[in-house]
Structure 1
Amino acid sequence: MELPHGLIEDILEKLPVKSLLRFKSVSTQWKSKIESAYFKKKQLLYSQLQDPDILITNRFEGEDKEHVTRMFTIGSSDLIKLPNVCPVPMPIPLENKKSSICYTYSVCGCDGMICYYNYYTCIYLVNPNTRWLRSVPQAGHQEAALKVMNKMGTWTEDNDGILCNLGFGKDKFTGRYKLVWLYNSFEFTLSNTTVCEVYDFNNTNTWRYVTASPVRIFDEQAPVHLDGSLYWFTDEYITDTKVLSFDIHTEKFHMIAEAPFFEVGEKEIIMCTLNNRLCVSQKEWPKQEIWSLNNSDMTWEKIYSLDLQTDYDWFTDYLPPPCTYSPDVVPCAIPVAVLKNKKKTLVLYYPRAKNPNLLMYDPESRSYDLCFVRDYIVHSCESSFSCFPSLMSIV
């Protein structure tokens, strides 16, 4: 019996990406439909109404030095290997042979695609569900950072200032995707405060410089993408830390709000998105509070308060003798997602803890549940974020 065309489409958009990839073999008509831009957008919109997958990225310490992304779905776990794409061996040797650069990766994501990049050599876009892959030319920041490292001749903690994080987002009016690299200029002996490079897909496919921010950014925090904009903290050593936004459509910077922190100093701060709202968090022992920005009046609302001291066992690998509570051994929790289908349970990630690794926090009972246990050797480039399965790619 033939089903109506619209009904078939409604059924297909609700299926897992893995099934849709197989169903492209059913007929030429189904293949054309599943590969169409219209269907990909429709499938993504439905996916975003469900609970996201949690991606944990890490390089396994094996003989092959493989770079691996583990995709964790609530209830099950699958291992997804990203292509070992960069031809440069690890570590990257410096020209003067005195030292080498740790060959680490960072990751950012948008619409089910992830940007998988090294600070010095390469940038790749990957859809972990479809295995689609695209390379991006080296940015000016990467070339400059490598030159600075070669000039210094060795790796020290002072070099951390050149390890800025890349932003990946979408113009909500045109649908075009862009990469944005905003970094402080002091480390590169430039006269301006910051430098901003933009890579525009579906247009020139080249890196170009745009008017940058007049204030320094806190470059240890990766930029966050939400609703057509990227967000950074201003430099943490400024008295009043603010939130800086970059409109991907107009390519203009704006100071949108002051962070709800009484002090910043050396304390750990986090920026993320939860329930399609911009959120910030700060660990100030013995609490870690999470705030959400109300876009209507640009005010902050406290949505979670974690008691790090009471729940000490969940946040550390062991109790240091003589079993005293020490703020230094408790990592700052990274909010990853709020699960719609589990009473607004908050998923938290702890990058410096060996076990547990990923937790679910129930705000009603103020209780925790172990969500994921790491079964591999930890590497410094590990990160975690939410991702909605999609068929999206960039031509």
Structure 2
Amino acid sequence: MELPHDVIENILERLDVKALLKFKLVSKQWYSTIQSRWFQKRQLIHRKQSGNPDILLVSVCDKSYSIEAMRTLVLGSSAAVRIPTPWENSLFDVANNSCDGLICLNDALLSNPNMVVNPTTRWIRRFPYSTYQQLRMRRKLKPWQKANLGFGKDVVNGTFKPVWLYNSYELRLDNKNKNNNAATVCEVFDFSIDAWRLVVPASPYPIIPCQHPVYLDGSLHWFTSKTETMVLCFDLHNESFQVFKTPFLHHQDFYRVFGMCNLDDRLCVYEQKWDDQVIWSFDSEHETWKKIYSIDLITITSSIPTCVTVKPLAVVDKEKLLMVSGADFGVELLIYDPKTKTCELAFTSKDHITADRLCYFQSLISIV
């Protein structure tokens, strides 16, 4: 007996992307189903519900300075698998997050175009340089002055948006921004017209240079600089800014290291001082912070000597914390169990590679 097509769709939604790419060849109806935006969204939902994210390594470089574009690592495996691309031997900076299985890349030397890539299907969409990228090359900014690209999705319209937010004084643009009292310049790329445009007014709060913006639920987030460290939020639908206070952070404290991340769809700030690392979760409804992890780094370094600092990447197995080690050379992934307060080594690169690391869920999604 032949199954109804809605039952077949329900089965297909639960399959991995590689299988679905093959099943597109079964019939025109299967092809149309798998290509549909509705089906692709359902497949991604099931993928997120079914398990842990995969880890993507970008601009993989070993001690011989041989460069690979990307590798993917399934948590629990012992090896990272190479993803072939048309741009091998080129170093790219990657936006700090994946969005619906897509990543956004930019070449700091402007020898390659910007790209949005689906590393699972190998779909690529190239797009032009921003004004910021061109100015950065001409002004020859120092490494500690540079901004990093943000990438996220307008959850109302479902459109993806690369974003540059940068301090006007870094590029000596203060005079141009006096009319709107902005300390920053904001550029958003619009894929519908294939062009960058300015957001006016931009933020009146300067941001800390070199940080990677964090995407969560339709907004990008940065730390502000100067006298008080706050979280600056940019809504990708309304294209407006607001700030949230972080009373536990003291920007002037030299011995405190802090950063921002997305853990289990929660905006989190981690701070490290001496041998302790604390992770705070933000409640956007009440604009309050709650301490969700407190990690004794002495315990970690006693069991994993190469680990000096740790950066949270994701929540795995529902409650454990996946972290990346701050080892000088190599990629080390650690899993911290908050119940037992112990840490184990989840992955270490045998070939002593360095790479940018981010988590992603495999999907069929592309930008139309």
With the length of structure 2 as denominator, give the TM-score of the two structures.
0.89
Provide Cα deviations, 1:202-260, integer angstroms capped at 9, x if missing partner. Answer: x222001112111111122200111110000111xx33210000010111111133253
Contact 2:105/2:116 (<8 A) preserved: yes
Helix, strand or coil at the partner of 1:38 = helix
Identity of aligned residues (%): 40
1:345 and 1:64 map into 2 onto residues whose CA distance is 34
The equivalences for 1:159-174 within 5 A come to 159-174=142-157
| Alignment length (residue pairs) | 354
2:158 and 2:142 map into 1 onto residues whose CA distance is 36
Aligned match for 1:361, one of 329, 336, 353: 336
Letter of the aligned partner of 1:141 in structure 2? Y
Provide Cα deviations, 1:27-53, integer angstroms capped at 9, x if missing partner. Answer: 111111101111111111212223211
Give the aligned partner of residue 143 of structure 1: 134
Give the aligned partner of residue 72 of structure 2: 71
1:343 and 1:251 map into 2 onto residues whose CA distance is 33
The equivalences for 1:55-94 within 5 A come to 55-61=56-62, 65-76=66-77, 77-81=79-83, 83-85=85-87
The equivalences for 1:1-395 within 5 A come to 1-50=1-50, 51-61=52-62, 65-76=66-77, 77-81=79-83, 83-85=85-87, 104-108=92-96, 109-121=98-110, 122-149=113-140, 159-191=142-174, 192=177, 193-201=183-191, 203-211=192-200, 212-235=202-225, 238-258=226-246, 260-266=248-254, 267-314=256-303, 316-317=305-306, 330-331=308-309, 333-339=310-316, 342-354=317-329, 357-379=332-354, 382-395=355-368
Is the alpha carbon distance of 1:246 and 1:23 closer, same or farther for their aligned partners in structure 2, counting shifts above 3 Å?
same
Is the alpha carbon distance of 1:356 and 1:180 closer, same or farther for their aligned partners in structure 2, counting shifts above 3 Å?
closer
1:67 and 1:141 map into 2 onto residues whose CA distance is 27
2:318 and 2:157 map into 1 onto residues whose CA distance is 35
Contact 1:291/1:303 (<8 A) preserved: yes
Helix, strand or coil at the partner of 1:34 = helix
Is the alpha carbon distance of 1:45 and 1:145 closer, same or farther for their aligned partners in structure 2, counting shifts above 3 Å?
same
1:241 and 1:393 map into 2 onto residues whose CA distance is 36
| Structure 2 unmatched ranges of 5 or more | 178-182
Contact 1:170/1:177 (<8 A) preserved: yes
Is the alpha carbon distance of 1:210 and 1:242 closer, same or farther for their aligned partners in structure 2, counting shifts above 3 Å?
same
- Deviating more after overlay: 173-182 vs 203-212: 203-212
CA shift, 1:378, in A, is 3.5
| Structure 1 unmatched ranges of 5 or more | 91-102, 150-157, 319-329
Contact 2:94/2:103 (<8 A) preserved: no
Contact 1:181/1:197 (<8 A) preserved: yes
1:120 and 1:164 map into 2 onto residues whose CA distance is 14
Is the alpha carbon distance of 1:259 and 1:5 closer, same or farther for their aligned partners in structure 2, counting shifts above 3 Å?
farther
Provide Cα deviations, 1:263-296, integer angstroms capped at 9, x if missing partner. Answer: 5443321111111110001111110101100122
2:59 and 2:325 map into 1 onto residues whose CA distance is 13
Letter of the aligned partner of 2:261 in structure 1? C
1:314 and 1:163 map into 2 onto residues whose CA distance is 36
Is the alpha carbon distance of 1:289 and 1:387 closer, same or farther for their aligned partners in structure 2, counting shifts above 3 Å?
same
Is the alpha carbon distance of 1:131 and 1:62 closer, same or farther for their aligned partners in structure 2, counting shifts above 3 Å?
farther
CA shift, 1:362, in A, is 0.6
CA shift, 1:80, in A, is 3.3
With the length of structure 1 as denominator, give the TM-score of the two structures.
0.84
1:64 and 1:133 map into 2 onto residues whose CA distance is 25
Contact 1:161/1:187 (<8 A) preserved: no
1:3 and 1:160 map into 2 onto residues whose CA distance is 59
Contact 1:221/1:271 (<8 A) preserved: no
Contact 1:357/1:373 (<8 A) preserved: yes
1:82 and 1:116 map into 2 onto residues whose CA distance is 15
Contact 1:317/1:355 (<8 A) preserved: no
CA shift, 1:352, in A, is 3.4
2:350 and 2:93 map into 1 onto residues whose CA distance is 20
Helix, strand or coil at the partner of 2:49 = coil
Provide Cα deviations, 1:283-331, integer angstroms capped at 9, x if missing partner. Answer: 111101011001221111111111112332356428xxxxxxxxxxx22
